[in-house]
Amino acid sequence: MCRLCDISRRHLPYPALGPAGFGAGATAMPASSPVTDGVPEACGREGQRTLIRNGIILSMDGTVGDFERGDILIEGSRIVEIAETISADDAIEIDAAGKIVMPGFIDTHHHQFETALRGQLANAILINDGLPANAQNYYETVLQSFSLVYRPEDVYINELFGALSQLDAGVTTVMDVSQIHHSPAHSDAVISALKDSGRRSVFGYFEGWGDDAQYPGDAARLREQYFSSNDQLLTMIMGGEIYLPFHEQSWKTGRDLDLPIALHVVGTFGMQPTFDGLGAGGAFGPDNIFIHMTGMSDDGWKYARDAGAHISLSVPIEMQMRHGTPPIQKAIDHGMSLSLSTDVECTMTADFFTQMRAMVTMQRMFANEKALAGEEYPALLTAREAIRAATIGGAEGLKLDRRTGSLTPGKDADIILLDAEALNVAPLNNVPGTVVTLMERSNVDSVLVAGKVRKWKGKLVGADIAHLRGELEKSRDYIFEKAGIARSLFGD
């Protein structure tokens, strides 16, 4: 058995992995986890009712509305009722007084395999574009150096630790875009870590490198083995990078398997001619997720809009790494489905308060500049609109909006409780404004995914973070050594 497989069994309350390795023979989710500090471990079980009481409810569903004080009734994994007052004598009660209760955040693009590289490329840009820049760039340093030495066990601990970190920050859903599929074993490791994290995850099957890489051909096996049902926390999306020579095959594979197709679209990578050609040829569809869309032509935007494609923006990363100006206003002006994503933690944090603030402040900066110059300017982005991009917008992009993204009866209970009485936000005056402009990850009090409690009163449930951190550090040391890159705590 792989050593990291055993770690998940001993240090997480999640499924044990079978002796054949990642994912093989995994047991079902145990009926309950040990009670720790009053954690309501029965929440989320089939037939069990949970009542979240006295919360400040921000539903992100216009038909449900918001409540200065309200209750949410959950049965098993699903929300069944939202009202000012609900009676349910047989329910487990969660007192949400002083808490903003809202849907969990949805990250539509995160390279989780890079967790051990956090902060390493804080000053780097995306590619070596021939312009004066830092010695390190993302493409050469991460994709063509670090990533090539990852073993399946490195993939597993990086993915698991990154997923738990985002759960702690209230991100209940992710599309993992890990370009680390160097072998089927690497792919299996990604899936096992996503499953063991206990959150809703979309497995993005992107490329890998080396003689053992089987992308895109292994997609059929992965689809059948792990994703035969859509009624599960784990779903799949096909990666279809157009800078790769076999992108036509990957797109066909994805559509043959009835999978959405996601890809990075970055003008600095010289993608515009290929992208525009595909658009003109009618290749785009509502199953496409276009990440970044920086530096693209007006025709390209029209093709994407007319096809009903979705746009995922990583605003801080796009500003930092020379992708080009984040096209927030273009997406808004074209009326496109829009979400937020964190991209790479080797350069920027993966919390969603940072993402929402960056989106709002950048859009308003450009609009305000026009206003001050006496020019016509677009409507100023609001805090609620930023929250929409961070929740239901992401669910729409990942084709999960019937399951999550808003607090709606019938949807899964992916819910976060944010402390509105904390020192950094009290007194509460405006709920959306407080979430976007004042809060940060320390305000995330509790997290539920499909009704199960994953974080409780400020602490992740069941995870031995100290031990897992030690394993991540061992993985980091191995990766740096094998890649031949020195680690300097104070280097530039």
Is there a domain that residue 11 lies in?
no
Q: Quick one: 320 and 243 in the same domain? A: yes
pLDDT of residue 8: 41
pLDDT at 13 over 50: no
Q: Quick one: 354 and 365 in the same domain? A: yes
pLDDT at 202 over 80: yes
User: What percent of the chain has pLDDT above 70?
Assistant: 92
State the residue range of the domain holding 446.
Answer: 49-104+406-460
**CATH classification of the domain holding 303:** 3.20.20.140
Work out the average pLDDT over 297-313.
98
pLDDT at 448 over 80: yes
pLDDT at 2 over 50: no
- Specify the amino acid at residue 129: D
Is there a domain that residue 19 lies in?
no
Q: Quick one: 319 and 393 in the same domain? A: yes
Q: Quick one: 259 and 188 in the same domain? A: yes
Last residue of a domain, one of 347, 375, 397: 397
pLDDT of residue 268: 79
The mean-pLDDT minimum among 19-33, 272-286, 391-405, 413-427 falls in 19-33
Number of CB atoms found within 10 A of residue 80's CB? 16
The per-residue pLDDT for range 135-186, each reduced to its tens digit, is 779 999 999 999 999 999 999 999 999 999 999 999 999 999 989 999 999 9
Spatial CA neighbour of 146 closest among 181, 117, 176:
117
pLDDT of residue 131: 82
pLDDT band at 5 (very low <50, low <70, confident <90, very high): very low
- What's the CA gap between 420 and 416, in Å, rounded? 12
Is there a domain that residue 118 lies in?
yes
pLDDT of residue 158: 98
Q: Quick one: 422 and 388 in the same domain? A: no
The DSSP secondary-structure symbol of 406 reads: S
Is there a domain that residue 1 lies in?
no
Work out the average pLDDT over 276-297.
97
pLDDT of residue 231: 83
pLDDT at 27 over 80: no
Last residue of a domain, one of 380, 397, 414: 397
**CATH classification of the domain holding 56:** 2.30.40.10
Q: Quick one: 71 and 138 in the same domain? A: no
Into how many domains does the chain fold?
A: 2
Residues 101, 419 contacting (CB under 8 angstroms): no
Q: Quick one: 114 and 206 in the same domain? A: yes
Last residue of a domain, one of 397, 422, 447: 397
The per-residue pLDDT for range 358-416, each reduced to its tens digit, is 999 999 999 999 999 999 999 999 999 999 999 999 999 999 999 999 999 999 999 99
The per-residue pLDDT for range 208-217, each reduced to its tens digit, is 999 999 999 9
Work out the average pLDDT over 306-311.
98
Work out the average pLDDT over 44-54.
97
Q: Quick one: 279 and 413 in the same domain? A: no
Is there a domain that residue 270 lies in?
yes
Q: Which two tokens stand for residue 298?
A: 């007006």
Is there a domain that residue 60 lies in?
yes
Work out the average pLDDT over 110-126.
96
Contacts 24+ apart (CB under 8 A), 1-10: 2/152, 2/153, 2/156, 3/153, 4/153, 4/156, 4/157, 4/471, 5/156, 5/192, 7/157, 7/467, 7/468, 7/471, 8/160, 8/192, 8/196, 10/464
Q: What DSSP element (H or E) covers 100?
A: strand 99-103
pLDDT at 10 over 60: no
Q: Quick one: 99 and 110 in the same domain? A: no
Arithmetic mean of pLDDT over the chain: 92
Q: Quick one: 187 and 288 in the same domain? A: yes
Q: Quick one: 116 and 255 in the same domain? A: yes
Work out the average pLDDT over 61-86.
98
Q: Quick one: 195 and 335 in the same domain? A: yes
Spatial CA neighbour of 112 closest among 142, 68, 149:
142
Spatial CA neighbour of 160 closest among 60, 11, 299:
11
pLDDT of residue 17: 34
CA 15 from centre of chain: 22
Work out the average pLDDT over 318-331.
96
